[in-house]
Amino acid sequence: MKTDLKHKTVFITGASAGIGEACALEFARAGANLIISARRQAKLERLATDLALKYSVEILPLQLDVRDTGAAAKTISELPAAFRNIDILVNNAGLVLGTEKVHETPDLDIDTMIDTNIKGVLNLIRAIVPRMVADNHGHVINISSIAGLEAYPGGGIYCATKHAVTAITKSLRMDLVDTDLRVSAISPGLVNTEFSMVRFKGDVDKASAVYAGLEALVAKDIADAVVYVATSPAHVQIADMVILANKQASATLVHRDL
Ligand SMILES: NC(=O)c1ccc[n+]([C@@H]2O[C@H](COP(=O)([O-])OP(=O)(O)OC[C@H]3O[C@@H](n4cnc5c(N)ncnc54)[C@H](OP(=O)(O)O)[C@@H]3O)[C@@H](O)[C@H]2O)c1
C-alpha cells in the first residue's frame, strides 16, 4: 500500500527556490502539512500563503540558515505542537560556488559549500532524527547529486560535499536498519534552477550557458521523484534515485544541439 501523505508533516530545507520550492508545492498538493525553511523569509511567507490557500494545508515558514548548528537545534526544539512530529525530512538546501580548480578555490567558497552541503545536512539530521527514532517512524530524503557519485573538473569541493551526502545517506541507512525509518537519496543531473546563477555569482550569460542546447530537468521533475520516494509503500526503501536529462549521460558528458 502506498504511503499516504495527507496530514503528514514534511520539513523541507531550501524551500525558497528551485527544487525545494517545487517539493513544497508537490507535497502540499498531496495534502501534507509543511515546515518550509531557507534564509529568504519573504519568499517563504509568500509560498506559504499561496500553498495554504490553494491546497488547504498547514504551512509554517521558518527562516533558518542550515549552517547554524545551534539555530537548527533551537528551531526544531521550539516547533509549535502541531508541527512537532515530523514524518519526512527533505534535506535539500545546498549550493555550488565557482568552477575553480581544487587548489585555486577561495577559502570562503570552500567553507560555504562544506558548511551548507555537509554540515547543513548533518545539522537537520541531528535535530530531527532522534525523535523519529524514539517514535520508530520517519523518512529522511537527502537531495544529493550526480556530483555525489562522480567527480568532475572545476567542481572538486562541490563533488566532495555531495560525495559526503551520499556517504552520510548510506551510513544513516545502516545505523537505522533495525528501525522502521527509511533513508533515501535523490541524485539529479542538470536541473534548471537558480543553482547556476548562484554558482556564477549572478552572471546570467554563464548561468544560461549551462542549460544551452539541451532540455535540462526542471525542479518539478525532481519534486515528483521525491514524492514518489515518499509515497512508496512502508516496506520499500528507495536507496538512491539518479535522474538525468535525456541528453546527459554522466556528470561530464552532455550532448548539446547548438
Ligand atoms: N540544479 C541542479 O542542477 C542540481 C543538480 C543536482 C543536485 N542539486 C541539488 O539540489 C538542491 C537544491 O538546489 P536547486 O537546484 O534547487 O538550487 P536553488 O534554486 O539555488 O535553490 C537552493 C535553495 O537552497 C537554499 N539555501 C542555500 N543556502 C542555504 C543555507 N545556508 N541555509 C538554508 N537554505 C539555503 C536557498 O534558499 P535561500 O537562499 O533563501 O537560503 C534555496 O532555497 C541542492 O542541494 C543542490 O546541490 C541541484
**How far is ligand 1, taken at its centre, from the CA of residue 201, in Å?**
14
- Mean per-residue pLDDT over the chain, rounded: 98
Fold of the domain spanning 9-243: Rossmann fold (3.40.50)
Name the residue of 193, 199, 210 whose CB sits within 8 Å of the most ligand 1 atoms, as the mutation to test its pocket.
193
Ligand 1 atom nearest to 117, measured from its CA: 45
- Does the pTM surpass 0.75? The reply is yes
Q: Which three cell numbers stand for residue 172?
A: 544513516
Packing angle, helices 41-55 and 18-29, rounded to 10:
20
Whether ligand 1 lies within 6 angstroms of the CB of 20 is answered as: yes
Confidence class for position 39, pLDDT limits 50, 70, 90? very high
Q: Which are the catalytic amino acids?
A: 158, 162
Give the domain ranges of the chain.
9-243
- Nearest Cα neighbor of 93 from 104, 79, 71 is 71
- Nearest Cα neighbor of 36 from 80, 249, 45 is 45
Whether ligand 1 lies within 6 angstroms of the CB of 187 is answered as: no
* Each residue's pLDDT tens digit, 86-145: 999 999 999 999 999 999 999 999 999 999 999 999 999 999 999 999 999 999 999 999
Whether ligand 1 lies within 6 angstroms of the CB of 143 is answered as: yes
Q: What is the pLDDT of residue 45?
A: 98
